[in-house]
């Protein structure tokens, strides 16, 4: 959301992205909004749930048979991504400067019900400011404020980090813990003993 001053009375009015006209809330004058205001700014609303994020991390590691996480610590924020086009016309996202160091580029814009950017849609959670080079902004298709969880955890005697996208709970991780040790399984022991007994009788 941006602010414009009425040309008649000077009153400050709020303008939403894409809005072409408004009536001054002070004097009622009709105001035409200039079209060139830079790239469209959108936010993917998300209600924070640390429990769901933790479950997503545990499921991700378990599906790959990796060591279980311990001492999980979570941070949450809305991160601005500048969406740019590559040479094939596909969109990819570049995170704003000054965000978490683990935050890297996105190879695709995540799906979801986006809204025109309004801080109230963040539900009081942290929003990283857009700190971007003016030339990059001039090339941007749009700016997306995306909900991200930063996860820090320990396992197998080491520290690890991951990012989890809000809404989809998709996990991004550059480094992964080792595979969890295979314990002795009682059904496997019983099957082996049964096979040995059958072999002896034969």
Mean pLDDT comparison of 6-15, 24-33, 98-107, 119-128, highest-scoring range = 119-128
What 3-state DSSP class applies to 154? strand
Note the pLDDT tens digit of each residue in 102-145. 898 888 888 889 998 999 999 999 999 987 677 777 788 889 99
Q: Where are the domains of the chain?
A: 2-37, 41-172
CA 116 to mean position of chain CA atoms: 17
Contact 143, 81 (CB under 8 A): yes
**pTM greater than 0.85 (yes/no):** no
pLDDT at 115: 92
Instruction: Give the residue carrying structure tokens 């580029």.
Output: 105
Could you tell me which residues are beta bridge partners of residue 175?
none
DSSP class per residue in 10-26: --EEEE-TT--EEE-TT
With a cut of 60, say whether residue 81 has pLDDT above it.
Answer: yes
- Of 135, 154, 156, the C-alpha closest to 38 is 135
Q: How many residues does the structure list for the chain?
A: 202
With a cut of 90, say whether residue 63 has pLDDT above it.
Answer: yes
- Of 133, 25, 151, 196, the C-alpha closest to 10 is 25
- Of 53, 161, 150, 170, the C-alpha closest to 107 is 170
Side-chain-side CA neighbours of 147 within 13 Å: the count stands at: 26
- Of 108, 121, 102, 119, the C-alpha closest to 161 is 102
pLDDT category at 155 given cuts 50, 70, 90 is very high
């Amino acid at each position: 959301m941006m602010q414009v001053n009425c040309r008649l009375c000077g009153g400050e009015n709020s303008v939403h992205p894409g809005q072409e006209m408004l009536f001054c809330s002070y004097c009622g004058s009709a105001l035409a909004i200039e079209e060139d205001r830079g790239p469209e700014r959108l936010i993917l609303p998300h209600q924070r749930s640390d429990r769901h994020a933790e479950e997503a991390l545990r499921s991700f590691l378990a599906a790959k048979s990796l060591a279980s996480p311990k001492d999980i610590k979570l941070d949450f924020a809305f991160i601005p991504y500048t969406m740019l086009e590559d040479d094939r016309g596909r969109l990819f996202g570049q995170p704003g400067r000054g965000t978490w160091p683990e935050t890297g580029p996105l190879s695709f814009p995540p799906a979801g019900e986006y809204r025109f950017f309004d801080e109230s849609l963040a539900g009081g959670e942290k929003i990283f400011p857009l700190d971007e080079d003016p030339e990059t902004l001039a090339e941007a298709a749009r700016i997306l404020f995306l909900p991200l969880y930063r996860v820090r955890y320990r396992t197998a005697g080491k520290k690890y980090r991951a990012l989890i996208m809000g809404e989809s709970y998709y996990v991004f991780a550059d480094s992964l813990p080792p595979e969890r040790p295979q314990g002795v399984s009682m059904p496997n022991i019983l099957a082996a003993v049964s096979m040995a007994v059958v072999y002896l009788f034969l």
